Each structure stands twice: as structure tokens, then as C-alpha cells.
């Protein structure tokens, strides 16, 4: 224990130097960093949202709503198909994410079954009722999972497009759990972000229901956007849906009012052309998220594949709508279930407070160690200083996120890091007091304290690892720095101080006392 | 150069002798804590209870009474306003609103416009932080927090079991539970907000408590090998006394760091640090007065220590 191989000293030196290199960018400002030669690391510690300011939004996707919509679509498709195949049915109705039909004749069952299976992917058709007249198409477990998966990934895609259009840098958009979506955007204005992300932006064009038409046409009522108390009855089937749009932009109409102009793809343009030709003179309605934003009258057939929506827009709402239409509709409604937003001022204050606390905490420990253990205490202090550098080096290298609880973790590690040295020094004192020689006391101090140090560090490391794996938010941030701190302090408190102590010992072979 | 000693070089305090008094005090405190937690409960923050917190900095020192009246006039349920660190820093809490996400957002917005209107002649209100947690997420966070606690305890227990004999494992878990329960009890007594960060603190305390206990146990085991004839109470006393310097030193350096955080680290983490400071104190006490005496009650055999001791000796 009182001799160290040269390679260990060299290795430790390399580790410390590397640590210095990787920690260095954190002390430089951005301009200097940008001009560093390329062989030097430039990554700095990745500050969490609570320190740099930004928004953390957790959304819940309305999956029951998705299945309800799908069920609705299946009913319509099935009705159409059964008619064209001339299969008679008594009743047709929705199930949770499925469809149920009661046939008139049993011999139609195989054919109907085939149609039903083809309605969507991942369906299974069950027969029930007497004579096998009732057929039910529902999702298999796997089919259901696939729907979840595709809805989430679509939602991520759409949200990403929207957030990108806002010009937010480095947003994190990821799935969380079964049916949730996490959006983290540093430096973003949460209100703005919520405004843009939370809108489903499902736009459809409908003909306004004709009161004199036969009762066969299914209708639906939506409120007007300007005045919720007023409703308008529309044909349920949409003529144009948002996915038929190929572009949208802010514009002004001939009266100089704010408007949104849009382009349709070929399918949309053809349908719109046909419909407007057949219904010239009749009103139609533009519905956005179940509200009627505009209900113009078709003056003439529109066949250019272009159009304009004017309603009661402001510059901002028109721009927002254009953005939403460009980015596409969300496949499901989403609502915020958790929001954590930190303004830039609090973030900066927290960083400043964390710095002050860390410096004062560090200074307190340094002074206390020096007073308590004298010259050896100073050696422990060198190790402690290196420890702090290494923590920042590792944080920068791993690009782990530093949060406010993370800073607390660092400060706490500073306090606890000296424990290994305290154990060793106390043991050296004790052994020396019992009459051992200087070398023998130091040797015994190190070897006897070692098992204890390993035990105590491992127990804390276990706690940190478990905190990291099971914890969320602040717990995780704390666990990261605590874990890193334990690893680095183990190295510095054991290797670095030992090298220093051995160096001292080599110089002071004949010393009769130990400065501890 | 002679260093500062927190305790004299050689102490011979009869810790084991006062074990019944220590047990009585601890039992009283633990039962008191459990009673408090059961009756008074914990002041759960929005992490667990759901709801909204808005931290604002007002352009002038606010008239709290006036502001309270104004915000409670919005009919959003009871809204609490408290000073947060600085006189012009306010923490505004809204209850969970009946209804969906839009209702929550609308509630936040109406509070913001009321504040903006109040200070429109003086300057802009700085919205420093907005946190909203839905009831379902709160429930999940509560469960995850509980899972983290349980898993950490088991992880630590498993390690101590592996490294020592089972008697040591049991004794250290007794000390750990003692510290955790007292800390939670303190939160019940003072009604300081209990949130995710507090759970992290409790777990950290558990880690520290075990750490402290393990250090003393290591020494007890070492001395069991060394003094084969010495009666156990005396042996335990010697071991604890020899580790006393270290136990107190480490507690002091850790507390130094924590006090710096408490004083200068900002209001946001103050509750978390407060828990840690208390826990470190209790953890130090329990490793001396609870863990070792409990071990004494267990049926430890010197031969076991001997066996495992050799392995450790070979390692060191």
C-alpha cells in the first residue's frame, strides 16, 4: 500500500489530464469554444430544462376516440360494400373499435365475413347469435397494439413538423408509455407551444345539410367558431379532408382581410371540382376540430385545386392555421396531463444559486479538511478538487443532463467524497497511536480502511443506480450526478491521495510523525 | 501540525450502556411519526396530488391580501399565495380543476390575466415557472416513487446480506427504516411540501444511513476477529468509539455542503435539502445508538465473523 507502480501513477495522471480536457469547455464562453482547435473536446454540460428554461409537456392521446372514429369509418365502409355486393342486413352498428352487422340470410355470411376482414388491418371476425347471423369485426390484441404504435408514431411526426416550424431548437419529442407523448423544448414559450401542439387540426369540408333532403343522408351539427351558441347542420360525410391538402399559407382576401390560402392534391382537386360543379349556389362549411370556421356559398365550380378560407382571423390565428394545415392533422386528440415550464429568469437564477452553493460548500469542506488533517488534509483537498473536475468532465462526455437536483447531488458528493479519506486518515492516526511506525501506520490505515470504503461506496452506488432506474424527473437528475460523483470520488480519494501520500513518504523516509 | 479533533483521541463512551434509553426515545419518535403520518398526513405537492403551481415575480412588492382577494374572486377553487424566498417572488397554487385539460389551461390563463391586469401600470409580471400535473399522472408518480423506495431498500438489504451475515442486514435495515420514518414524520409534523424531490431525499438518507451503519459494522466485525474473548457489549463499545471520529467528521463535511445548499442553493430545492439535513443528523444518531445495539440483540456468532472476515482480509 505504500508503494505504487509507476504505470498506475501514469494512468492516474492521464485520467486527470483527460478529465481536465473534457471539463475545460465548461469554463470557456461560446466564442472561445467555437475557435478551439478540433482535437480538443468542445461539449459542455447539458443543462436541463429547469436550468436553461423551457417547456416540458406530457400529452395523453385519446385512443378511445381513435377507436371510436375507426369504428364509425368501418360502419360507413361496410354499409357501402354490403350494398354494392347486394348483401341484405338488418342492422349495422359500432363496437369498441369494431363493427357488428346482423345479416338477413345465413348464406351471405362467408362473403360478408371476407368484406369485414378487409375493412382494416388486424381485424378478426367472430360469429355470434343464432344461425350465425351476427358478425362482429374487432381488432386482435396485436392489431390493437399496431394501431397504438402507428397512431403514436404519426403523432410524433406531426408534432415534430409543427415544433420545427416554430423554430424551436433541439426539441425532444418521444413516446412515453403506451399512449403518451413527451415534448421537451428548451427556451420555448410554453403557451405558444401548447397552442400549436394541442390542436388536432383536423380540417374537413362539408356540404350544409339540405332540410328538404331525404332522411337517408346522415347529418351532424357543429357550433360556429365565432359564436358557440349557434349551430349548423351539415352532411356527415366530408367532401375534402385535411390529408388532401398539399400546402397552406397566410394570405389576404380581396377585401384585405386575413385569410389562409391552400392547395389541394390531385384527388382533392378532382373531388372538389366535381362537388362544386354539382352544388353551385349552395353553402358549404369548413370545419376545424369540430367547429365551423367558415361557411361560404359556392359561387362557381372551383377546379384549380386552390382555395382560400376567410373567417374571423387575426394575423396570428391565420398564420397558426396555415402552419397547422401544412404540418398535418394529429391522428388523435391530445391533452396535456403534465406541464412543467421554467422561464429563463428562474433558470439563470438557479444556475447562479447552484454555483454559489457549490463554491461555498466546497470551500467549507476544504477548510474543514485542512484544519482537521493538516498536510494530509491538503492532499485530500487536491483530490477533492480533481474530483469536481472529473464530475464535470464525465457529465460533458456523457452529455448527461444536469438539473437543479443534479447540482444538489454534486454538492452532496463533495461533502461525502472526503469520507474515504476521513476513514483512511482516522485509521492512520489510530494505528500510529497504537505505536506503529510511520510507514506501517500508513500502510495499515490504507489496507484496513479499504474494505469499509468499498462497502460504503457500493451501498450508495446501489441507491443511486436504483434511483436512476425507477425515478422520474428530479429523482433521475439527482441520481445521475450522485452516481458519477461516487465513481469519481472513489478514484480520486483512493488513487490520487495515495499517490500524494506515497510521494510524501518517499521524501520523508525518516519522519517520526505523520502530518495527519 | 496537529489537526482539529472533533472528539478526543481516545473516547470511551458507553453507547451500549444507554441502549435502552436510546431505544425508548427512538421508539417514541417512530411511533409518534407513524401516528402523525396516519392522522395528520402529508402535505403532498402537485407531483402527487395534482394541480397547478405558478411562480411569479411581480414588478413591485405585492399586497398579498389584495392579491388573494382578487385571485380567489376568479372562482377557481381555493387559491393559495405565498411568498417564495423573496418578497416579490410568489408561489400561487391552484387546486385540480374539474374538467379536462382545456379547463386547466383556461384556469392558468385567467390567473395570468388577473395578475397582468393588477400590475399593468407598474411593469411586466415575470412568469418564472408553471407546473401542472394531472390527477392520473400524480397517481402514477406516487406509485413510481413508492416503487423506487421499495426497490432501493431491497437492493441495499441484498447487498448488506451478501457482504455480512443476516444479523447485520436486519440491524441495518432497522436503522434505515428508523431514519426514513422519522424523516417522513418530520414532513408530517411541519407540513412542509412532500414531493418527488422529497422521495429522492428520503432515498438518499437511506443510502447515507446504510453507509454509516456499514462503516461501524465493518469495524465490529474486524474487532470480533481480533478480541476473541472480550464480552460483546464491551467490544461493540470499543468499535463504535473508534469509529466515532470518522462518523462525526463525515457528517460534518456532508452537513457543511448541505447547509451551503440550504442557504444559497435557491428556494426551489430548499425542501429537499431540509429533508437531507435532518436525515443526515438522524442517520448519524441511528448508526451509533440504534444499529449496533440492535445487532447486539441478534444472535451473532464469532465463528461467522471469522469465516467472512478472512475473505475480507484477503481482499484488503
| Spatial separation of the C-alpha atoms in residues B214 and A240, rounded to whole Å | 71
Contact state of A411 with B261 under an 8 Å Cβ cutoff = yes
CB-based contact (8 Å) between A494 and chain B? no
Q: Please name the helix (run of DSSP H) or strand (run of DSSP E) that holds residue A234, with its range, or none.
A: strand A231-235
DSSP 8-state assignment for residue A253: -
CB-based contact (8 Å) between A422 and chain B? yes
Q: Which CATH architecture has domain A6-52+344-507?
A: Up-down Bundle (1.20)
> What per-residue confidence (pLDDT) applies to B55?
92
CB-based contact (8 Å) between A407 and chain B? yes
Dihedral of CA atoms B147, B150, B154, B157 in degrees, nearest 10, equals 150
Considering only CB atoms, B137 lies closest to which of A337, A408, A466, namely A337
Dihedral of CA atoms A222, A223, A224, A229 in degrees, nearest 10, equals 160
Contact state of A407 with B253 under an 8 Å Cβ cutoff = no
Instruction: Mark which residues 172-211 of A lie under 8 Å from B by CB.
Output: 190, 194, 198
CB-based contact (8 Å) between B250 and chain A? yes
**Disruptive mutation site among B3, B180, B222, B305 for chain A (greatest number of A CBs within 10 Å):** B3
| Spatial separation of the C-alpha atoms in residues B198 and B183, rounded to whole Å | 10
Contacts of A407 in chain B (CB under 8 A): 265
Burial readout A463-491 (b: 16 or more C-beta within 10 A, e: otherwise): bbbbbbebbbbbbbbbbbbbbbbbbbbbb
The crossing angle, in degrees rounded to 10, of helices B101-118 and B64-72 is 140
Residue A422 has pLDDT above 60, yes or no: yes
- The fold of A199-340 is Gyrase A; domain 2 (3.30.1360)
CB-based contact (8 Å) between B162 and chain A? no
| Spatial separation of the C-alpha atoms in residues A430 and A438, rounded to whole Å | 12
| Spatial separation of the C-alpha atoms in residues B270 and A354, rounded to whole Å | 12
| Spatial separation of the C-alpha atoms in residues A372 and A383, rounded to whole Å | 16
Contact state of A411 with B266 under an 8 Å Cβ cutoff = no
Contact state of A466 with B151 under an 8 Å Cβ cutoff = yes
Contact state of B257 with A473 under an 8 Å Cβ cutoff = no
Instruction: Mark which residues 23-82 of A lie under 8 Å from B by CB.
Output: 50, 58, 60
Q: Which residue of B has its CA nearest to A375?
A: B1
Distances (CA, A) of A455 to A458, B159, B163, B168, B174: 5, 9, 8, 13, 18
Distances (CA, A) of A392 to A267, A387, A399, A400, A404: 57, 9, 10, 10, 15
| Spatial separation of the C-alpha atoms in residues B242 and B216, rounded to whole Å | 9
Residues linked to residue A126 through DSSP beta bridges, in sequence order:
A136
Considering only CB atoms, A415 lies closest to which of B10, B147, B253, namely B253
* B20 burial level (CB within 10 Å; 0-12, 13-18, 19+): exposed
pLDDT tens per residue, range A155-171: 998 998 888 888 777 88
Query: What string of pLDDT tens digits covers the 316 residues of chain B?
Result: 456 777 777 788 899 889 999 999 999 999 999 999 999 999 998 888 888 999 999 998 888 888 888 888 888 888 889 888 888 899 999 888 777 667 877 888 889 889 998 888 888 888 899 999 988 888 888 888 888 888 877 887 788 888 888 888 889 889 989 999 999 999 999 999 898 888 888 888 888 888 888 889 989 988 988 888 889 999 999 999 988 988 999 999 999 999 999 999 888 888 889 999 999 999 999 999 999 999 988 877 776 555 554 444 433 3
**A212-216, A276-280, A452-456, B238-242: which range is least confident on average?**
A212-216
Residues 6+ apart with CB under 8 A from B121: none
Considering only CB atoms, A350 lies closest to which of B204, B242, B268, namely B268
> What per-residue confidence (pLDDT) applies to B312?
43
State pTM to two decimals. Answer: 0.81
Contacts of B204 in chain A (CB under 8 A): 412, 463, 467, 478, 482
Residues 6+ apart with CB under 8 A from A461: A483, A486, A487
Contacts of A465 in chain B (CB under 8 A): 155
Residue the block writes with cell 451501498: A459
> What per-residue confidence (pLDDT) applies to B311?
44
Please compute Rg for chain A using Cα positions.
Answer: 35
Task: Read off the C-alpha cell for A172.
Answer: 425532444
Share of chain A above pLDDT 70, in %: 99
Looking at domain A63-144, which of 3.40.50, 2.60.40, 3.30.420, 3.30.1240 is its CATH number?
Answer: 3.30.1240
| Spatial separation of the C-alpha atoms in residues B231 and B236, rounded to whole Å | 9
| Spatial separation of the C-alpha atoms in residues A459 and B207, rounded to whole Å | 7
CB-based contact (8 Å) between A215 and chain B? no
| Domain residue extents for chain B | 16-44+137-315, 51-133
Residues linked to residue A340 through DSSP beta bridges, in sequence order:
A56, B131
Sign of the dihedral defined by the CA atoms of residues A368, A370, A373, A379, in that order: positive
Considering only CB atoms, A415 lies closest to which of B200, B206, B254, namely B254
* 3-class DSSP state of A287: strand
CB-based contact (8 Å) between B12 and chain A? no
A321, A313 Cβ separation under 8 angstroms: yes
| Spatial separation of the C-alpha atoms in residues A144 and A177, rounded to whole Å | 15
Q: How confident is the model at residue A328 (pLDDT cuts 50, 70, 90)?
A: confident
Q: Please name the helix (run of DSSP H) or strand (run of DSSP E) that holds residue A447, with its range, or none.
A: helix A438-470
> What per-residue confidence (pLDDT) applies to B314?
36
CB-based contact (8 Å) between A516 and chain B? yes
> What per-residue confidence (pLDDT) applies to B306?
54
> How far does B230 lie from chain A, in Å, by closest CA?
19
> What per-residue confidence (pLDDT) applies to A310?
82
Residue among A474, A356, A486, A341 at smallest CA distance from B275: A474
Angle at A253 between CA A252 and CA A259, to 5 degrees: 55
Q: How confident is the model at residue A416 (pLDDT cuts 50, 70, 90)?
A: confident
CB-based contact (8 Å) between B266 and chain A? yes
* B25 burial level (CB within 10 Å; 0-12, 13-18, 19+): middle
Residue among A345, A346, A334 at smallest CA distance from A194: A334
Residues 6+ apart with CB under 8 A from A441: A428, A431, A432, A514
Q: Which residue of B has its CA nearest to A433?
A: B9
pLDDT tens per residue, range A196-242: 888 888 888 888 888 776 667 778 889 988 888 888 888 888 888 88
The stretch A15-40 carries a mean pLDDT of 85
CB-based contact (8 Å) between A348 and chain B? no
Does 1.20.1640.10 match the CATH number of domain B16-44+137-315?
yes
Angle at B46 between CA B41 and CA B52, to 5 degrees: 140
Considering only CB atoms, B264 lies closest to which of A338, A356, A460, namely A356
Query: For chain A, what is the total number of helices (H) and then of strands (E)?
Result: 15, 19
The stretch A387-400 carries a mean pLDDT of 92
**A186-195, A485-494, B292-301: which range is least confident on average?**
A186-195
Contact state of A353 with B264 under an 8 Å Cβ cutoff = yes
| Spatial separation of the C-alpha atoms in residues B310 and B316, rounded to whole Å | 10
A vs B, Cβ pairs < 8 A, gives 251
Contacts of A483 in chain B (CB under 8 A): none
| Spatial separation of the C-alpha atoms in residues B196 and B151, rounded to whole Å | 16
Q: Please name the helix (run of DSSP H) or strand (run of DSSP E) that holds residue A263, with its range, or none.
A: strand A258-264
> What per-residue confidence (pLDDT) applies to B315?
37
| Spatial separation of the C-alpha atoms in residues A374 and A328, rounded to whole Å | 69
Half-sphere exposure of A495 (CA within 13 A, CB side): 20
B215, B160 Cβ separation under 8 angstroms: no
Share of chain A above pLDDT 90, in %: 24
The stretch A461-483 carries a mean pLDDT of 83
> How far does A360 lie from chain B, in Å, by closest CA?
6
Residue among B77, B41, B13, B33 at smallest CA distance from B194: B41
CB-based contact (8 Å) between B314 and chain A? no
Looking at domain B51-133, which of 3.40.50.720, 1.10.10.10, 3.30.505.10, 3.30.70.3400 is its CATH number?
Answer: 3.30.70.3400
Distances (CA, A) of A260 to A102, A251, A268, A318, B144: 46, 5, 17, 6, 46
Dihedral of CA atoms A191, A194, A197, A198 in degrees, nearest 10, equals -140
Question: Phi and psi of B75, rounded to 5°?
Answer: 60, 55
pLDDT tens per residue, range A46-81: 888 888 889 999 999 999 999 998 898 888 889 888
Considering only CB atoms, A360 lies closest to which of B148, B264, B316, namely B264
A447, A480 Cβ separation under 8 angstroms: no
| Domain residue extents for chain A | 6-52+344-507, 63-144, 199-340
Dihedral of CA atoms A292, A296, A302, A304 in degrees, nearest 10, equals -60
Instruction: Please give, one letter per residue, the 3-state secondary structure of chain B.
Output: CCCCCCCCCCCCCCCHHHHHHHHHHHHHHHHHHHHHHHHCCCCECHHHHCEEEEEEECCCCCCHHHHHHHHHCCCCCCEEEEEECEEEEEEEEECCCCCCHHHHHHHHHHHHHHHHHHCCCCCCCEEEEEEEECHHHHHHHHHHHHHHHHHHHHHHHHHHHHHCCHHHHHHHHHHHHHHHHHHHHHHHHHCCCECHHHHHHHHHHHHHHHHHHHHHHHHHHHHHHHCCCCCHHHHHHHHHHHHHHHHHHHHHHHHHHHHHHHHHCCCCCHHHHHHHHHHHHHHHHHHHHHHHHHHHHCCCCHHHHHHHHHHHHHHC
| Spatial separation of the C-alpha atoms in residues A55 and B107, rounded to whole Å | 18
The crossing angle, in degrees rounded to 10, of helices A474-491 and A404-417 is 30
Contacts of A194 in chain B (CB under 8 A): 105
Contact state of A342 with B312 under an 8 Å Cβ cutoff = no
Residue the block writes with cell 475557435: A35
Burial readout B123-152 (b: 16 or more C-beta within 10 A, e: otherwise): eebbbbbbbbbbeebbebbbebbeebbebb
Contacts of A445 in chain B (CB under 8 A): none
* 3-class DSSP state of A221: strand
Amino acid at each position: 500500500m505504500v508503494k505504487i507502480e509507476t504505470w498506475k501513477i501514469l494512468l492516474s495522471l492521464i485520467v486527470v489530464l483527460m478529465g481536465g480536457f473534457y471539463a475545460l469547455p465548461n469554463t470557456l464562453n461560446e466564442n472561445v469554444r467555437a475557435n478551439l482547435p478540433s482535437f480538443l473536446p468542445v461539449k459542455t454540460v447539458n443543462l436541463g430544462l429547469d436550468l436553461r428554461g423551457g417547456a416540458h409537456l406530457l400529452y395523453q392521446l385519446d385512443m378511445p376516440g381513435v377507436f371510436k372514429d375507426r369504428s364509425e369509418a368501418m360502419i360507413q365502409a361496410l354499409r357501402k360494400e354490403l350494398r354494392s355486393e347486394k348483401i341484405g342486413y338488418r342492422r349495422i352498428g359500432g363496437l369498441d373499435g369494431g363493427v357488428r352487422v346482423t345479416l338477413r340470410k345465413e348464406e351471405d355470411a362467408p362473403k360478408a365475413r371476407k368484406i369485414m376482414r378487409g375493412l382494416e388491418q388486424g381485424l378478426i371476425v367472430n360469429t355470434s347469435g343464432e344461425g350465425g347471423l351476427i358478425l362482429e369485426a374487432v381488432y386482435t390484441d396485436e392489431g390493437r397494439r399496431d394501431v397504438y404504435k402507428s397512431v403514436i408514431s404519426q403523432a410524433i411526426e406531426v408534432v415534430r413538423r409543427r415544433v420545427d416550424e416554430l423554430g424551436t431548437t433541439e426539441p425532444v419529442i418521444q413516446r412515453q408509455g403506451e399512449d403518451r407523448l413527451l415534448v421537451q423544448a428548451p427556451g420555448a414559450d410554453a403557451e405558444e407551444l401548447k397552442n400549436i401542439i394541442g390542436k388536432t387540426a383536423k380540417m374537413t369540408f362539408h356540404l350544409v345539410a339540405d332540410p328538404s333532403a331525404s332522411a337517408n343522408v346522415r347529418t351532424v351539427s357543429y357550433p360556429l367558431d365565432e359564436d358557440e351558441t349557434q349551430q349548423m347542420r351539415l352532411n356527415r360525410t366530408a367532401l375534402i379532408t385535411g390529408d388532401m391538402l398539399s400546402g397552406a399559407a397566410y394570405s389576404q382576401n380581396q377585401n384585405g382581410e386575413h385569410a389562409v390560402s391552400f392547395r389541394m392534391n390531385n384527388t382533392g382537386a378532382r373531388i372538389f371540382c366535381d362537388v362544386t360543379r354539382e352544388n353551385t349556389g349552395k353553402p358549404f362549411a369548413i370545419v376545424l376540430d369540430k367547429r365551423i370556421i367558415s361557411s361560404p356559398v359556392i359561387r362557381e365550380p372551383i377546379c384549380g385545386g386552390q382555395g382560400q378560407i376567410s373567417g374571423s382571423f387575426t394575423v396570428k390565428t391565420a398564420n397558426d392555421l396555415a402552419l397547422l394545415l401544412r404540418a398535418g392533422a394529429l391522428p388523435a386528440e391530445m391533452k396535456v396531463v403534465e406541464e412543467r415550464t421554467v422561464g429563463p429568469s428562474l433558470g439563470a437564477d438557479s444556475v447562479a444559486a447552484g454555483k454559489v452553493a457549490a463554491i461555498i460548500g466546497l470551500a467549507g469542506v476544504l477548510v474543514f479538511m485542512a484544519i482537521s488533517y493538516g498536510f494530509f488534509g491538503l492532499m485530500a483537498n487536491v483530490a477533492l478538487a480533481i474530483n469536481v473536475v472529473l464530475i464535470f468532465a464525465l457529465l460533458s462526455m456523457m452529455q448527461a443532463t444536469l438539473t437543479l437536483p443534479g447540482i444538489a447531488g454534486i454538492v452532496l458528493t463533495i461533502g461525502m467524497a472526503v469520507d474515504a479519506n476521513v476513514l483512511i486518515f482516522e485509521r492512520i492516526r489510530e494505528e500510529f497511536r497504537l505505536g506503529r511506525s510511520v510507514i506501517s501506520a500508513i500502510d495499515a490505515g490504507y489496507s484496513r480502511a479499504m474494505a469499509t470504503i468499498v462497502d460504503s461506496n457500493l451501498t450508495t452506488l446501489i441507491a443511486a443506480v436504483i434511483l436512476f432506474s425507477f425515478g422520474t424527473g428530479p429523482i433521475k437528475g439527482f441520481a445521475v450526478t450522485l452516481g458519477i460523483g461516487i465513481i469519481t470520488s472513489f478514484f480520486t480519494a483512493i488513487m490520487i491521495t495515495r499517490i500524494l501520500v506515497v510521494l510524501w513518504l518517499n521524501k520523508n523516509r525518516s519522519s517520526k510523525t505523520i502530518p495527519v | 501540525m496537529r489537526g482539529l479533533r472533533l472528539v478526543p483521541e481516545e473516547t470511551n463512551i458507553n453507547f451500549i450502556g444507554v441502549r435502552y434509553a436510546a431505544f425508548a426515545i427512538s421508539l417514541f419518535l417512530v411511533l409518534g411519526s407513524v401516528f402523525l403520518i396516519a392522522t395528520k398526513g402529508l402535505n403532498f405537492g402537485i407531483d402527487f396530488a395534482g394541480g397547478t403551481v405558478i411562480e411569479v415575480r411581480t414588478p413591485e412588492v405585492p399586497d398579498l391580501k389584495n392579491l388573494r382577494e382578487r385571485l380567489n374572486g376568479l372562482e377557481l377553487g381555493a387559491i393559495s399565495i405565498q411568498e417564495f424566498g423573496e418578497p416579490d417572488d410568489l408561489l400561487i397554487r391552484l387546486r385540480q380543476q374539474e374538467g379536462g385539460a382545456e379547463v386547466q389551461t383556461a384556469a392558468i390563463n385567467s390567473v395570468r390575466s388577473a395578475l397582468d391586469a393588477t400590475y399593468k401600470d407598474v411593469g411586466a409580471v415575470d412568469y418564472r415557472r408553471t407546473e401542472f400535473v394531472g390527477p392520473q399522472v400524480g397517481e402514477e408518480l406516487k406509485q413510481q416513487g413508492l416503487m423506487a423506495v421499495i426497490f432501493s431498500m431491497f437492493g441495499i438489504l441484498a447487498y448488506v446480506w451478501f457482504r455480512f451475515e443476516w444479523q447485520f442486514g436486519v440491524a441495518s435495515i432497522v436503522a434505515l427504516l428508523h431514519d426514513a420514518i422519522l424523516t417522513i414524520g418530520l414532513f408530517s409534523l411541519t407540513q412542509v411540501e412532500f414531493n418527488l424531490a422529497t422521495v429522492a431525499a428520503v432515498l438518499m438518507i437511506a443510502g447515507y444511513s446504510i453507509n454509516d451503519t456499514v462503516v461501524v459494522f465493518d469495524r465490529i466485525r474486524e474487532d470480533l476477529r481480533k478480541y476473541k474473548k472480550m464480552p460483546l457489549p464491551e467490544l461493540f463499545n470499543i468499535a463504535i468509539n473508534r469509529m466515532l471520529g470518522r462518523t462525526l467528521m463525515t457528517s460534518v463535511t456532508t452537513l457543511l455542503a448541505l447547509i451551503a445548499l440550504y442557504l444559497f442553493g435557491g428556494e426551489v430545492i430548499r425542501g429537499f435539502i431540509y429533508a437531507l439535513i435532518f436525515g443526515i443528523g438522524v442517520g448519524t444518531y441511528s448508526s451509533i445508538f440504534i444499529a449496533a445495539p440492535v445487532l447486539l440483540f441478534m444472535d451473532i456468532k464469532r465463528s461467522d465473523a471469522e469465516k467472512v472476515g478472512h475473505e475480507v482480509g484477503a481482499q484488503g
